[in-house]
Amino acid sequence: AEPDVPAECVRPAHGEAAADTERDTYAFLPPADVRGDVARSVFYMATRYRGGTEEGTMNLTLTDCPVDKAGNELGYLSQLLKWHEEDPVDDSERRRNDLVCSSYQGNRNPYVDHPHL
């Protein structure tokens, strides 16, 4: 089930994008088979960078009404939660999480390891 698509959306998002991508002035809709992956990445970013306590980091916040011109608000929370449910963690995402931990960041995305969070 696809979300309602406003008439002003461009589909696909650009000439080289997958057919089930979209964009408008405010949002980008990734391909259906990675929407959950994107949602869990955004959940991780919002959790990791919440509070902006480290120098040079923003206080990222998930919302359904992003209006912050500084770019600190990410949305749309309700849509991200829907993507998370509709596109569950798969083996490819688990492998990527393992690789990111072992080869790059030294930490893991808890929303991949524990999707019930």
Query: Rounded mean pLDDT of the chain?
Result: 81
Return the pLDDT at 63: 85
Dihedral over Cα of 53, 63, 29, 10: its sign: negative
pTM of the model: 0.76
Query: Per the domain annotation, does 117 fall within a domain?
Result: no
Query: Per the domain annotation, does 14 fall within a domain?
Result: no
57-97 confidence digits (pLDDT tens): 777 888 888 776 667 777 789 999 999 999 999 999 999 99
Cis (ω within 30 of 0) for the bond into 3?
Answer: no
Return the pLDDT at 1: 42
Could you say which DSSP state residue 104 is in?
A: I
Query: Per the domain annotation, does 21 fall within a domain?
Result: no
Tell me how far apart the alpha carbons of residues 10 and 47 are, in angstroms, rounded to a whole number.
31
Give Cα 22 distance to the centre of its chain.
Answer: 15
Query: Per the domain annotation, does 24 fall within a domain?
Result: no
Helices 35-48 and 77-86 pack at an angle, to 10 degrees, of: 130
* Cα–Cα separations (whole angstroms), residue 102 to 46, 55, 71, 115: 22, 25, 30, 20
Higher pLDDT, 97 or 55: 97
Confidence tier at 35 by pLDDT (50, 70, 90): very high
Query: Per the domain annotation, does 20 fall within a domain?
Result: no
Which residues form the domain of 36? Answer: 32-110
Query: Per the domain annotation, does 11 fall within a domain?
Result: no
Q: Domain count for the chain, please give it.
A: 1
Confidence tier at 113 by pLDDT (50, 70, 90): very high
Residue 44 has pLDDT above 50, yes or no: yes
